[in-house]
Structures are given as structure tokens and as C-alpha cells.
Chains A and B, each alone.
Chain A
Amino acid sequence: MRPGRGRDTFLALKSLVTASVLVALATALAVSSDVMAQPAPTPDGPPAPPVPLDHVDPSFGPLITIEDIRVVGNRSTAERIILRAVPLAQGERLRAADPRLTAARFKVLALGYFRDVTVALEKGSAHGRVIVVVTVVERGTIVLNRLWYGSSALAPYWLGLDLTERNLLGTGLLVGGGVVHAGHGNVDGARDQWGGELRLGAAGLSGTRWGAHGAFQIQRGSEVYRLAGAPGSSDNADLAAFPYRRLGVRGGPSFDLTTTTGFEADVRIEQIDAAVPSGDRTLDDGRVVALDLGLDAGKSRVVSLAVGFDRDTRNDPVLPHQGNRVQAQLEVGGELLGGSYDFVVALARYERWWPLRPRHALGVRAAGGAVLGDAPRFDRIHVADVNRMLTPRVMGMTVAATAPPDFLGTDNGDALYGELGGNLVAEYAYRWFRRPKSIYGGDLFVAAGVWGLHADGAVRADGASGWDALPVDLVIDAGLRIDTELGIFEFTIANALGRVPRW
């Protein structure tokens, strides 16, 4: 859309969205202050008991000796995989109320291979001896992780999917992967893009808390950049693209420190072959700025070491209403390791939920990161990483170059990649329904917050300074999030905006 006509549409939309943000925030604050005054213990929000609900006295019940452990109902899953998960052994002497007997069901369920698991005891061959019978009902273990689809001025279409087989041939090994293809629009130098990934993994190696994972990736893409026009211009005539190819492997161990806390480490080796152009960019006000595309021309290599931390105490990973989650990642790459880029990437994320009155919850999400040194372009923070109203990268490839909405007049349209970025979003969620089967639940939500992305070489409109030059703006979203047996679906404003061509 050309700037003249698009400007009017944009201004109208901007006013509407800004008003919506203010209403949403005001509503959230009003409701939260109201519900805070409500008493905590109600039948919908009972007070926590002093001990876990499934607490049992381990000295309670008759003394039994496990004569055998039998598995029933497994057709494709190897028996040893199930037995490995059962925290009991033949010959063990314990009370019938021992928590491990109750836990056995959940340990087997946690493998993710079964729709249902029941555990029962049967009489053994002599008094006091019992047989533990574990009955399983297998489920499909191919999981659809992601679907990519959409259209933009840069890519008329993109289409792809990512699948995982959690239980390869009944061995408990994980194999997954995805492919995506994107067409190219009328941008000088652009070409069709495609990418693929193959993943392997195993959790609970030999019954320990250790796991291992590895992945191979390949991409043949074209990366867009602005060559002319005003800052933030999304006109294809102002854009250009250069071709590149990425080929990489990564892998490492993982370790579960506790039930809610885990660590992960990775080694990454990646080769990049990019036809990076050199030269300058001419703005429509006549200024000329140097192009910095964040990649070495020709062949280069990324070698890095990374560690990650994750602590998750939320009550539900999909539709949380209480608890918190902390994640952190640190990646270091350098010539000392044999790479072409010296860089450090630090990312952190915090999320917390407060249950309000029954069915209502308030959440806050904060995420941020810093990229130090000479990180390759693909490892910098993308604007869609921090602003969910934009089209996210698809398997690492850029499929849209739409400028973010400028609600605050802070002129951040030019930042595509940055070195310092983050967002802070408040979300108000309403528990619409919960069910035990198929469609587990749905939450309506409204979210609003701020995002920021600082890029060293960001270009701004001539004369922009002070408030106008602050690299921050608003982000909003609202919609319905549904948790189903097939996966998680989001019908939201931001999701829709990221899949269709815009101003």
C-alpha cells in the first residue's frame, strides 16, 4: 500500500488500537482491584491444605513383597521402556501405602506414550507377595508441533509444518523435524526460501535425570534489507534481498535438577554462505548511511557453546492461572572455538500468574536480551521476537518486513534486528471452560504492554530525538486460546496480523 492512502488507514487504526489498549489496561486494573478485595477461600478457589493432597503415611498399610511387575496392553512400546519408568523393583519389600506405588502410574504416564495407565496389585505365589500389574492404553505419539502459513508482501505464501515422533519404534527415542517453503515477492534479489530440520533426543537416559539431544538444520533463504526510502518503509521497491545458505548441527546434554528445574547445554557448529552486498543506503531525505547486514561475505562459520536454565512452577503450561516460570540462556561464540564471529547472547524471561477471583487471573511476562560483540545477523534479536503483532521468523527465515505499528510516535519502523531488546506484557485471562477430554479448556484473554529494540545502526526520520527517538512502543493482543488433545490453538489479533499482508 502506498504511503498516502495507507497513512489515513493507519492513523485510524492507530487511534482505535491505542484506545483499546487503554480500555484493556483500565479494565484489568479495575477488575483486579475489585477481585483483590474478595475473600480467598471459596469452593472455586480452596485454600491449600497443609500437606500435599496425595500425601500418604509410608508406614500405613500391610507389608508386601513385590514378586513381579507385569505390563499389560503395550503393543508397540517395549516393555523395558515401561519397566524403567516404574520406581519399583522385584523383591522389594514395602508398605502398600508406599508413595512409589501411587507414583508409578504418573511416572509411566509421564512417558507421554499412553492415553491411560492403571496400576493394581494381585496376589503372588506366597503370603505377602504381590504382583504389580501396570495396564497401559497406548496413544498416537506423532505430535504436530507447529504449522507455518501466511502471506506477506515479501513472501506471497509460506507453508510448513513440524512433527515429532516421541516413541520411535517403541524405543522411547524422539525423532522430529520440520520443513517449510516460502515463495518470494517482487523484491530485488529475493528468491524462494526453504528450510528443514531434523531432531533426535532421548530423556531419562538409563533411568537417570540426564538426557541428550541433537539437531541438524539446513536453510536456503534470502534475507531482506532496506536499500532506500524512509525509515520503516515496507514498500517492496525500497527493499532488496541477498541469498544465503545455512547448514548446521547442534547437540548436548540436559539435566533435571528437580522436578521443576532443569539445565541444558549445547554445542553449535554452523556454516553460513551469504552473498552479502556492500554499499550504502540512500534515505528519501537524501541522507546516505552505511549498510550493516551483520554477516561476513562468502563463507563463514558460527561455533558456540550455550547453557540454559528453566524453572517452571506454573499450574498449567498452556492455560496458566498461577505460578511462575524463569528461563535464561547464555551463548558464547568466538574465533577461539573456531568460528568467524565473536559474540555473547544473553536472554532471560520471567512469567508470573496470580489467580484473582474464580476463573480470573492476571499474568505478567517480561523477556529481554542483550547481544554483545559481532553476532551473526540471525542470532540478533528480531523485532518480531519482542513484538507479537509482527510476523515471526519461520524456522529462522524472514518472511515479512512489515514495520511495527507506531502507536507512540516513537519512530521504530526501521529496526528489524537489534542488540538490546525485550518486552513487558500484562495479560488478563478468563477461564472460559475446562473439560476432561478432547478439548481440555479455553481461556479468553487480553494483553497489553510495551516492547523495545535498540539497534546500533537504526535509522530514524530526520530530526527525531528525545521521546520520538526512544526505541519503545506498545504491543497488544486479545483472543481465545484453546488447549486440545491435538495441540494448542490461538485465535488472536496478533496471530492474525502476523499471517496477512498489512499496511
Chain B
Amino acid sequence: MVSRPLVAALVVATTLAARPAVAQDGGLEKQTMKFLERGSSIYLTGNVTSVFDARAYEKLENGLISTVVVRLWVYPENQPKPTGFVLLHRQCVFDLWAEVYSCALAGPTGRRTYKVKFRAEALKLLTALDQVPVADIANVDVDQRYVVAAIAELNPVSKETMAEVRRWLSDGAGGGLDRGGSFFGSFVSVFVNLKIPEADRAVRIRSQPFYRPRPKAK
């Protein structure tokens, strides 16, 4: 009999290995997603697993919190103005002693917490988009084609933190004799030019077009 963790690990390994080649920082991944109209909302099912690579997956068990932020927009095809936007904020942390993952998922439907045993399960909680309400049907016209654009970031760094680090890095002591020149000039040199990435990884994903069919006349 094949154990559950082995199956989960195989699924994860397969998923990570089969990640689309374009799923890199700055690239655009095309993904076939499922859309469902229920009640007053359009629901999306897909995943942002490609935001994890093997190294990031290993780091899930380092005892520190891992955060995935997903932003989803619904656009009429070939139009720039979105009709829906959703922000998902997901975190998992591994308890080194109890050997369980505590996860918190926050989104438009509220915040839920989970405890799971296996790393693959934590990965799924962080990256699965399972029936996420992305748009109100009042804003989605019948027969109009729409697409979903998503940006997923792993351990994003806030602007506040970036500003803090940048300020420390650019702190040059003593200044220079060109006081006037550097003060008025367009440009003040950065004394240590070290770049802090805005996230451990980031992926951009676009769905296939979808549309709401016109209800059949009775």
C-alpha cells in the first residue's frame, strides 16, 4: 500500500519538475484555469505552484514563516480596465518540535487556519486556488470574453522594509567636498550598491479566455 505522504511528495515533485519554462521572474505563464458561476460570483480554480522552486520548497521547513501573496485581476479580453480584483494572503510556519505546519489563509471569504503534517500539504495550502471568488457576475457581461491575470509572490518585501534597507545601504558617512554639486545634482551616489529583491520569487500568470454563456430561453 502506498502511503499518503509518498503520494503527496510524488505529486509535488511532479508539479515542481513540470513547471512551465516561462514560470520565472519576469516571465508570463499561461495556465488553463477552471471557472464556475455560482450565485452572484465567478469562482476560479487553478494554482500558483510555480512560485516555488526546489530551494524554496526546502525552506518551508526552516522554522520561519513563508508567505505567498496572490493578486488576481479579471479583465475583459484586450481591455485594460479590470472588472474584479482579489488579494490572497497565505502563510505557513513549521513547528520544529511538534513537526506540524500551521497555516493561515486570508482572502475575500475571511481568514482560516489549518494544521497539516506534511510539507506537500503546506505547499498546496499556500498555492492552490480552489474556487476563489474573483468577480461579481454583475460586472461580468454575458458573451464577453474575459481573462484572469495573476501575480504571485513568495515572501514579498514591503515597501516599508525596502525603504528601510535602502536607507541603511545608502548611508555614506562624511560626505564629499562636492557639497554643492552632489546636493544640486540629479543624482547622489549610492555607497553600497546591493540589490535586495522585492520577493524571493514572483510569477505572472494569465488564464485562457472565458465567458458567461447567454442563458437558454425556456
Contact = CB atoms under 8 A, between A and B. Distances in A.
- Is A bound to B? yes
B176 A197 contact: yes
Of B169, B170, B183, the most chain A CB neighbours within 10 A belong to: B183
A110 B164 contact: yes
Contacts of A485: 193-195
Interface stretch (A229-237, A253-261, A282-290, A295-303): A253-261
A321 interface: no
Interface stretch (A7-15, A112-120, A186-194, A403-411): A112-120
Interface string A68-102: 00000000000000000000000000001100011
Contact of A201 (B96, B173, B194): B173
B67 A57 contact: no
A136 interface: no
A115 B104 contact: no
Interface string B19-62: 00000011000000000000000000000000000000001001
A396 B197 CA distance: 36
Interface residues of A, number: 109
B93 A96 contact: yes
Contacts of A381: 180, 184
B176 A53 contact: no
A500 interface: no
A488 B190 contact: yes
B112 interface: no
B116 interface: no
Given A211-B171, A384-B181, A392-B178, A109 B165 contact: yes
Interface in B191-217: 191-197, 204
Nearest to A96: B93
Contacts of B174: 174, 176, 199-201, 213-215, 251
Contact of B189 (A39, A61, A146, A213): A146
B53 to A, nearest CB: 13
Contact of B156 (A54, A119, A394): A54
B110 interface: no
A395 B176 contact: yes
Given A41-B82, A52-B158, A102 B65 contact: yes
Contacts of B67: 53-54, 56
A195 interface: yes
Interface string B79-108: 011100101010101011110001010000
B159 A96 contact: no
Given A61-B93, A127-B97, A312 B163 contact: yes
Of all A-B residue pairs in the complex, the 4 with the closest CB atoms, nearest first, are A201-B173, A121-B63, A199-B174, A52-B158
Interface of A: 38-39, 41-43, 46-47, 49-50, 52-57, 60-62, 64, 96-97, 101-103, 106, 109-112, 115, 119-123, 127-128, 130, 139, 141, 143, 145-146, 162, 164, 166, 174, 176, 178, 195, 197, 199-203, 211-215, 217, 219, 251, 254, 256, 259-260, 262, 312-313, 315-318, 327, 329, 347, 349, 365, 367, 369, 381-382, 384-386, 388, 392-396, 422-423, 425, 427, 434, 436, 440, 447, 477, 483-488, 490
Given A97-B91, A203-B171, A347-B180, 14 more contacts: A42-B82, A42-B149, A43-B150, A43-B151, A50-B87, A64-B63, A101-B65, A119-B64, A130-B63, A176-B173, A213-B174, A259-B164, A317-B170, A318-B190
5 contacts: A103-B161, A176-B172, A203-B171, A318-B193, A395-B176
